[in-house]
Structures are given as C-alpha cells and as structure tokens.
A and B are shown apart, each in its own frame.
Chain A
Amino acid sequence: AQSVTQLGSHVSVSEGALVLLRCNYSSSVPPYLFWYVQYPNQGLQLLLKYTSAATLVKGINGFEAEFKKSETSFHLTKPSAHMSDAAEYFCAVTPGGYQKVTFGIGTKLQVIP
C-alpha cells in the first residue's frame, strides 16, 4: 500500500524567504504525486501534479516540486514567500489504476511579515 509522510505539521517563514515543504512517499510502482493547498474553511485546490513527464513540476502561484526517485521525495518549494501563501498544504500519492489517493496529514504554512 502507498503512503505519504509530510515532515513538519507547522512551518513558519518570513515574507520573502524560501518556502520548503517536505513530502516523502512510498509506492510499489511509479506513483502519481500531487500537492494541494487549502485556505481556512475551504476545499482543496491543486497546486501541481507529477505524472512522470518531467521530474521538475511547476505549479500555480510560483510553486514547484521536484520528483526524486532515489530519495522517494516530492518536496514543494517557492523562492519567495508571500503573505497570501499562508495556508495548509497537502501532499498526496496514488499508484494509479484503481488504487485510491492517499493524503498526508498536511503542513500549515505561516508567513511572518
């Protein structure tokens, strides 16, 4: 069965600083990987998705993630944090086929002015 681990349930960064949110996965086959963002009391919205086409995936709002098979990681980064980036971020994985998507527990990002 697949699983995903998000290191750090809370991350704080200063406005303008690098954002790094960590995600490690396990999957018996090459996975599909997702990052979603959730603003307070709202549903989730896709930031980006890895489907094996390219290891560096660019998403919305300046975010990107790099798939590293050797490290089983899919960390989310943004060069310069903005106040509007404050939200909860979820990493998710599925092996595909009829296997369900497994979500991580989420990382709350706080941006300090």
Chain B
Amino acid sequence: DGGITQSPKYLFRKEGQNVTLSCEQNLNHDAMYWYRQDPGQGLRLIYYSQIVNDFQKGDIAEGYSVSREKKESFPLTVTSAQKNPTAFYLCASSISGNTDTQYFGPGTRLTVL
C-alpha cells in the first residue's frame, strides 16, 4: 500500500535537546511538507520541498531544520532553539505542487519535558 509514514507516533524530549522526526512516502510524490498543529490554530507550515535537494521555509521555520536528500524522505529536526516545541507535527506530500491534493501521515506528538 502506498502512503506516508511518520515515526515515532509519540516522542518525549528533554528541554535543550535536538530531536528528529521521520517522514517517509512511497507515493512517488515530488513535493513534501511539514506542518505544526496546535489547538485552535489550525495547521501552520514549517518547511516544504518541491524537489530533491531543495526546500523553502514556511511561516514558522525558526528553530527547525530539514533535509531532502532522497525523494521519499523529508526528516524534520526540532532544535533547542525552538522555544515552544510541544505540538502535533504532520508531514504531507503531493504529486508536484500546492494545487495538488496533499496526503498526510498519521502525525507525531512531541512533548518536551
């Protein structure tokens, strides 16, 4: 079955530590996205990539970093510079661009202790 996987589903981190969230897709999609979801704020775009080895900042990129070395993988690192990292993180992909349907992974809930 094609789809997007995110791991882990729940993640706990001590304050001051970096942590990497995994996102893998086997849909052969060119574009991939990372969103942060907080109650009452909808989805906010962190980073997106429309092609391998290229990515752009979204609305709330500060304190986050990404890489896109392979078409199927788009990991997100939450660094210690992110002031309020506790949130639900969603990865998505689409065929090529922003007018295409986005397919979402199941999400990772990050809690900073």
A residues contacting B by CB (< 8 A) are 9, 32, 34, 36, 41-46, 49, 51, 90, 94, 96-101, 103-106
Contact = CB atoms under 8 A, between A and B. Distances in A.
A103 B41 CA distance: 9
Interface string B92-107: 1000011101111111
Given A41-B109, A42-B107, A97-B98, 11 more contacts: A32-B99, A34-B101, A43-B92, A43-B105, A44-B104, A90-B43, A94-B98, A97-B97, A100-B58, A100-B59, A106-B42
A104 B42 CA distance: 6
A44 B90 contact: yes
A9 B40 CA distance: 8
A101 B98 contact: yes
Nearest to B94: A101
Contacts of B48: 100
B99 A51 contact: yes
Contact of B99 (A9, A44, A96): A96
Nearest to B43: A103
A94 B99 contact: yes
B106 A42 contact: yes
Tell me if A's interface is mostly helix, strand, loop or mixed: loop
A96 B4 CA distance: 23
A44 B58 contact: no
Among B4, B59, B107, the most chain A Cβ lie within 10 Å of the Cβ of B107
Contact of B98 (A44, A46, A49, A98): A98
Contacts of A103: 35, 42-44
